[in-house]
Structure 1
């Protein structure tokens, strides 16, 4: 399950994906439009800014914009940034591998084998789905 923080981050990024090129959204606009608490959103956008996903502009036309094209930002990248590893078991993690302390042998662990399939399928969807894909998919469903 993803955290509320990750869900808010994705919703904020989708909102930024939907604005016309050259425009920006102020924190208050994103907060109101996506029902995200403003203080929490500020922290999230700061993390996304440090990661090079968004940037902020000052001035009358200020606000936040995507720094990278929506086709270049995947759900998997954002989830790892906000929540950490996607894998349900530490022995399956790409970025935070740890051997399970209660496991005698990974190669014969039935639980690991089942969750490895889950992890592979999850990564495949999250690492191939971009912000642009999410907006297009939503437009098709409407």
Structure 2
């Protein structure tokens, strides 16, 4: 399950992706559009800015905008920034690997074997699905895309 923070980050990025190139929107406007607590949104946007996904602009027409195009920002990248590793078990994490407590042999672990498949399929989908896909792809095409990514 993804965190509320990750959901808000993805919702904010969708709002930013719908803007015209060069257009900016304030945190107040984003918060109102997507019903996100403004102070929490500000923290999220600062984190996304530190990771090079969004930029801020000062002044009368200031606010936030995407730094990279929506088709270059994946759900997987955003989730890793906000929530950390995608793997449900520490022994499957690519960035935060550690042996599971009480594990004597990862290769023969039945639980790990099943979750390795789950993790692989999840990564495949999330690392291919972009913010642009969420906006432009209809439900049937998106479902087909997800199935093909996980295969």
Q: TM-score, normalised by structure 1?
A: 0.96
Cα distance in 2, alignment partners of residues 107 and 38 from structure 1: 46
Alignment gaps of 5+ in structure 2: 140-151
Residue 79 (structure 1) aligned with residue 79 (structure 2): yes
Cα distance in 2, alignment partners of residues 9 and 18 from structure 1: 15
User: What CA deviation, in whole Å up to 9, does each residue of 1:24-64 have, x standing for no partner?
Assistant: 11100000000000000000000001111000001111010
Measure how far apart 1:88 and its partner are: 0.3
Secondary structure at 1:103's aligned position in 2? coil
Secondary structure at 1:124's aligned position in 2? helix
Secondary structure at 1:65's aligned position in 2? strand
Secondary structure at 2:52's aligned position in 1? coil
Cα distance in 1, alignment partners of residues 47 and 100 from structure 2: 30
Secondary structure at 1:128's aligned position in 2? coil
Residue 111 (structure 1) aligned with residue 111 (structure 2): yes
Partner of 1:98: 98
Paired residues in the alignment total: 139
Residue 130 (structure 1) aligned with residue 138 (structure 2): no
* Consecutive aligned runs of 4 or more in structure 1 exceeding 3 Å deviation: none
CA RMSD of aligned residues (A): 0.7
Cα distance in 2, alignment partners of residues 12 and 23 from structure 1: 14
Structure 1 segment 1-142 matched on structure 2, within 5 A? 1-137=1-137, 140-141=138-139
Cα distance in 1, alignment partners of residues 21 and 53 from structure 2: 15
Cα distance in 2, alignment partners of residues 45 and 119 from structure 1: 27
Cα distance in 2, alignment partners of residues 31 and 50 from structure 1: 20
Measure how far apart 1:101 and its partner are: 1.7
Secondary structure at 1:64's aligned position in 2? strand
